[in-house]
Chain A
């Protein structure tokens, strides 16, 4: 897997025949898997352009403090991207704009985070051509005292046919926290298929009872459930998994 580092808000250039980097814009010309890590960043503007007929899998990872980030994904005809994103930031303000510009463009956006402070996410998905597809999955563990706001807006104009929109957001709370999910779908076209679900809630007592009835302590049971929820939402290899587990360990998710 190719690695792209974004350090101090700037992309570190690297050589790859399938990628053109121009400032903070990344053009993907051929298929591939890429791992992007945001290191010591506080204000990032980044744009990913996926050319026609190209399939990309992106792994994004951030463990920063006070991160403001603006990410744009543009997809052309028959292109697809799977975004696997994990944030363990302390204070995040993120805007994601997804432009499905070409026919049959397809995004699967899998986002997981553990929140200790204040995190705000605005995700806009624009279906701009026929038969475009968006699957948006957000999974967040909200620690005591944190706040998590998700505003997710999907748009389909009249005359853009046979689009598929899916939004699924889940926030699991550990103690008192302030959380909000606004799932909006602005659809002016009858041929659209739209699905959404939003859940905010604490960890199920029945789940905990089941795990503890097998000798697993309360803390370990919480850990199992939290790790499962966050890791299962994103495709991850050993390297990414280890990074995520390290962040979760440092955050002492069960305390």
Chain B
């Protein structure tokens, strides 16, 4: 489904992604972990077509379509969704207008008001989200948790085929992380072919989504891949000491 080959990316003359390679098949869940500043969030924005980054070489395909010439909105229409670490607050633009315009754009037809309200209310209820937030200005005055729930509400409404979760767990308390994690899990269960790329520092969110593959990213490339146990290893030893030899007792644990 998604293929990234030898991708090199710079911003402000600084190399951020360095011969980056990744393949994610239909229905797979991948997690990328890594310390701060290794290029994880850059990867997510480059996949979405952020013009602030320069792609110096490499290839990126989604369902055999070359993504690189496509604009951000064209990539979204292909079914790619980026749940952002810091969703933008946009004064004056109501969440409702934004959501309705987005749904209409993705589906290339205007959604009826009644259908729209029903979908919004159902999604908000499942997320234990205050319905009033739908009528407020987009993310303005939302708490960290409300912003992240609003991102997940968009997933429910826009029905993407490929979801990038950039630090979804940041700004979420334990209870809200559970709600958000379970809602994404349910979306995945209902849409088996949807793939998910989770970008995170912490393995807590992975408990809900149970990734097929976990990758460690350092210096703009993936340096190690494994299964969920790799995330547990990181939780236990951190990124610096993860390769140290385990004692028999630690292995047993």
Q: Which residues of A are at the interface with B, using a C-beta cutoff of 8 A?
A: 204-207, 209-218, 220-221, 224-225, 227-233
Q: Which of B100-108, B181-189, B195-203, B218-226 contacts A (4 or more CB under 8 A)?
A: B100-108
State whether B72 touches A232 (Cβ < 8 A): no
State whether B51 touches A214 (Cβ < 8 A): no
- In the assembled complex, the Cα of A225 lies from the Cα of B87 at a distance in Å of 16
Selected A-B contacts with CB under 8 Å, 8 pairs: A210-B88, A210-B90, A214-B98, A214-B102, A215-B73, A216-B102, A228-B97, A229-B91
State whether B52 touches A205 (Cβ < 8 A): yes
Closest B residue by C-beta to A231: B92
- In the assembled complex, the Cα of A217 lies from the Cα of B76 at a distance in Å of 10
B94 CB contacts on chain A under 8 angstroms: 228
State whether B154 touches A214 (Cβ < 8 A): yes
B77 CB contacts on chain A under 8 angstroms: 215
Q: Given A207-B88, A210-B88, A216-B101, is A228 in contact with B93 using a C-beta cutoff of 8 Å? A: yes
- In the assembled complex, the Cα of A229 lies from the Cα of B92 at a distance in Å of 5
Q: Given A210-B88, A215-B158, is A224 in contact with B98 using a C-beta cutoff of 8 Å? A: yes
State whether B72 touches A209 (Cβ < 8 A): yes
Question: With an 8 A cutoff between CB atoms, is B50 at the interface?
Answer: yes
Q: Which residues of B are at the interface with A, using a C-beta cutoff of 8 A?
A: 45, 48, 50-52, 71-73, 75-77, 81-82, 84, 87-88, 90-94, 97-98, 101-102, 105-106, 137, 154, 158
- In the assembled complex, the Cα of A221 lies from the Cα of B102 at a distance in Å of 10
State whether A225 touches B82 (Cβ < 8 A): no
State whether A217 touches B88 (Cβ < 8 A): no
Known A205-B51, A209-B72, A224-B101; further 9 A-B contacts with Cβ < 8 A: A204-B88, A209-B51, A210-B87, A210-B88, A213-B75, A214-B154, A225-B93, A232-B91, A232-B92
- In the assembled complex, the Cα of A180 lies from the Cα of B73 at a distance in Å of 34
- In the assembled complex, the Cα of A126 lies from the Cα of B224 at a distance in Å of 69
Q: Which of A207, A215, A233 contacts B76 (CB 8 A)?
A: A215
- In the assembled complex, the Cα of A212 lies from the Cα of B106 at a distance in Å of 11
Closest CB-CB distance, B135 to chain A, in whole Å? 12
State whether B90 touches A212 (Cβ < 8 A): no
Closest CB-CB distance, B177 to chain A, in whole Å? 22
A229 CB contacts on chain B under 8 angstroms: 91-92
Closest CB-CB distance, B202 to chain A, in whole Å? 24
Q: Given A212-B71, A213-B48, is A220 in contact with B101 using a C-beta cutoff of 8 Å? A: yes
A212 CB contacts on chain B under 8 angstroms: 71-73, 76
B87 CB contacts on chain A under 8 angstroms: 210
Closest CB-CB distance, B79 to chain A, in whole Å? 10
State whether B93 touches A224 (Cβ < 8 A): yes
Closest CB-CB distance, A81 to chain B, in whole Å? 23
B48 CB contacts on chain A under 8 angstroms: 209, 213
- In the assembled complex, the Cα of A171 lies from the Cα of B223 at a distance in Å of 48
State whether A217 touches B137 (Cβ < 8 A): no
Closest CB-CB distance, A74 to chain B, in whole Å? 31
B84 CB contacts on chain A under 8 angstroms: 210, 213
Q: Given A212-B72, A212-B73, is A206 in contact with B88 using a C-beta cutoff of 8 Å? A: yes
Q: Given A224-B101, A232-B137, is A213 in contact with B72 using a C-beta cutoff of 8 Å? A: yes
- In the assembled complex, the Cα of A206 lies from the Cα of B82 at a distance in Å of 14
Closest CB-CB distance, B71 to chain A, in whole Å? 7
